[in-house]
Amino acid sequence: MSTVQESIDVAVPVSTAYNQWTQFESFPEFMGGVESVVQRDDTHLHWTTKVAGQTREFDTEITEQHPDERIAWKTTEGVNHAGVVTFHRLNDTESRVSVQFQWDPDSATEKLGAAFGADDAQVKKDLKRFKEFVESHGATGAWRGDVDSRPQTGDAF
């Protein structure tokens, strides 16, 4: 398992950062390698990614979501990963976005990249692009519903 932990401070209120993050279908605008995200319902997403010439599709389930606080997920099909993004109010106009996830690199290329920190570097770049996006656009929408966590087995955040 590879673990990634990165944070960034953004010059927007915590509700703006959270609201934008709930717009999963906009992820390709700031996440490298993400070709598309299709939100099937309030808790299920279908992802298409392309990294190092390799296209992958997988499904995730939002396992916990609380407005302005956190969104946790796990894969239900495809590559094995689970994680959480948390939102922290710094003051009325600034917030911190923290991402933590674990994933299971599959191919030799993925294992080598994880060993050399390529996944950490990619998440750091993605968070910088998110910062630029949300600070220049504000939130492009919001979903403010709650998803309560259910008892889980294995590694959960």
Q: Cα separation of 80 and 130, whole Å?
A: 24
The predicted pLDDT at position 141 comes to 74
* Beta-carbon-side half-sphere exposure of residue 76 (alpha carbons within 13 Å): 11
Q: Is residue 19 part of a domain?
A: yes
Q: Which domain holds residue 67?
A: 2-23+62-137
Q: Is residue 146 part of a domain?
A: no
Tens of pLDDT, residue by residue over 24-50, are 999 999 999 999 999 999 999 999 998
Q: Is residue 157 part of a domain?
A: no
Q: Is residue 47 part of a domain?
A: no
Q: Is residue 36 part of a domain?
A: no
CATH number for the domain that contains residue 107: 3.30.530.20
Tens of pLDDT, residue by residue over 48-74, are 998 878 898 999 999 999 999 999 999
- With contact defined as beta carbons under 8 Å apart, do 68 and 84 qualify? no
- In the numeric block, the tokens 């939130």 are attached to 139
Tens of pLDDT, residue by residue over 77-131, are 878 889 999 999 999 999 999 999 998 767 666 766 666 677 888 899 999 999 9
Q: Is residue 71 part of a domain?
A: yes
Strand 2-10 and strand 44-51: pairing? unpaired
The predicted pLDDT at position 11 comes to 98
**Could you tell me the pLDDT band of residue 134, with boundaries at 50, 70 and 90?**
very high
Give me the number of domains the chain comprises: 1
